[in-house]
Chain A
């Protein structure tokens, strides 16, 4: 029943596997991280997909939070679904979602993780957003703009 409704409660997953209709996109977004103003992090340098997952997905989620006025998108989602009843689960926010402390600590964690997987001391990070579009042959970069900057305290 949960599967039919599209709800997931581990280990009862919905195995959609790209069943959702994809909408055409004009511009794609790639997050590019530069370590110590010199080394661009290429996630494909790491053969283990788990490492690529940890290098890319938390950063992408952090950007989603920032784009959502510093509010965890899951909170926004639940607020829109539950309306006034959201107040009944508000007490769970601190234990279940990413509020101020997690957001403030994120770049420190990202620097630590990068230091471990690259084996390179990380003194600073520059994260840029790359906007790109497809021609019928290749991906073409349109613009690059800064998103976040971090320096070791």
Chain B
């Protein structure tokens, strides 16, 4: 079983190894999905429009010309993607070799910036995949546990921040806020696929705006509940459920994709239940 330090039931090095394998298996799955969808760097077809916005991290990357160099040289892009896969597979096989994990994080960071900047929209898309690997760079299991818990706070912060912004911007009082979001985001889907089940849902929502606005308010309350997680671990199983419901809700109601954030939900899972070493 885990070793108790203060009130935290620490994961042992053996459990850390297993969690690492789970995380890197998920990462590998996401990369394979990107490959088959044509969204790895060598498949982006040398994109041209960039959007570093006013984000200094992006500015530094573009100042050094890193995204441009990789995407405009096809063979460099191929080698980059090959390295990304290699350093995702190696930690699966050797979770204790921190150098592989560092290499993966550096490569994935470059992929993250490159993908988002040439997507021409300043977004946090793929940040979950980038951050989830960080705790495994720890030199010992105690540091790993602190970083893993830190990542749990990062997840809590994401949803709590979403609540606080909505609360203090008074968007919860704004008339038809949810309906207006739906109208903006669903226009393309309603135009291209008016007979799909999701278009049917949106057409129903247009006729019943009260339900969609109520769903938005429920979402705000759910986000606010993540504040509890800053004070206790007791309700993590319920927060885990909410952190699944919220991205699904965003996808369903606003056709918005926060699904990849769900990888951070691993920090709310009690792996002590799954990885028990038989003595």
Interface-located stretch among B18-26, B81-89, B188-196: B188-196
In the complex the two chains form, is B125's CB within 8 Å of A25's CB?
no
In the complex the two chains form, is A54's CB within 8 Å of B192's CB?
no
In the complex the two chains form, is B124's CB within 8 Å of A19's CB?
no
B256 / chain A contacts, CB cutoff of 8 Å: 18
In the complex the two chains form, is A44's CB within 8 Å of B63's CB?
no
Residue of A whose beta carbon sits closest to that of B154: A11
- Give how many B residues have a beta carbon under 8 Å from the other chain's beta carbons: 75
Interface-located stretch among B95-103, B176-184, B270-278: B176-184
A106 interfacial by beta-carbon distance below 8 Å: yes
What's the minimum C-beta distance from A34 to chain B, rounded to whole angstroms? 13
B191 / chain A contacts, CB cutoff of 8 Å: 30, 32, 130, 132, 139, 141
Residue of B whose beta carbon sits closest to that of A17: B162
B142 interfacial by beta-carbon distance below 8 Å: no
Contact of A10 among B48, B58, B194 (CB under 8 A): B58
In the complex the two chains form, is A57's CB within 8 Å of B121's CB?
yes
What's the minimum C-beta distance from A28 to chain B, rounded to whole angstroms? 4
Query: Would you call the interface of chain B mostly helix, strand, loop, or mixed?
Result: helix
In the complex the two chains form, is A13's CB within 8 Å of B184's CB?
no
Tell whether A136 pairs with B47 under 8 Å between CB atoms, given A10-B113, A58-B118, A58-B120: no
Complex Cα spacing A47 to B118, Å: 20
In the complex the two chains form, is B187's CB within 8 Å of A15's CB?
no
The winner among B56, B158, B165, B183 for most chain A CB atoms within 10 A is B165
In the complex the two chains form, is B52's CB within 8 Å of A58's CB?
no
Residue of B whose beta carbon sits closest to that of A115: B45
Residue of B whose beta carbon sits closest to that of A112: B45
Contact of B121 among A8, A44, A61, A106 (CB under 8 A): A61
B65 / chain A contacts, CB cutoff of 8 Å: 95
In the complex the two chains form, is B183's CB within 8 Å of A28's CB?
yes
Tell whether A116 pairs with B169 under 8 Å between CB atoms, given A3-B161, A23-B180, A44-B192: no
In the complex the two chains form, is A25's CB within 8 Å of B183's CB?
yes
A135 / chain B contacts, CB cutoff of 8 Å: 206
A105 interfacial by beta-carbon distance below 8 Å: yes
Interface residues of B in 98-154 (CB under 8 A from A): 112-113, 115, 118-122, 124-125, 127, 130-131
B188 / chain A contacts, CB cutoff of 8 Å: 30, 43-44, 56
In the complex the two chains form, is B48's CB within 8 Å of A105's CB?
yes
The winner among A22, A25, A44 for most chain B CB atoms within 10 A is A22
Complex Cα spacing A134 to B187, Å: 9
Contact of A48 among B37, B59, B166, B170 (CB under 8 A): B37
What are the 10 A-B residue pairs with the smallest beta carbon separation, nearest first? A48-B37, A22-B180, A19-B165, A61-B120, A10-B57, A112-B45, A17-B162, A15-B161, A139-B190, A19-B166
A-B contact pairs, 5 of them (CB 8 A): A17-B166, A18-B256, A22-B180, A92-B59, A98-B50
What is B's interface to A at a CB cutoff of 8 Å? 33-34, 37-39, 43-59, 62-63, 65, 112-113, 115, 118-122, 124-125, 127, 130-131, 157-159, 161-162, 165-166, 169-171, 174, 176-177, 180-181, 183-184, 186-194, 196, 203, 206-207, 223, 250, 254, 256-259
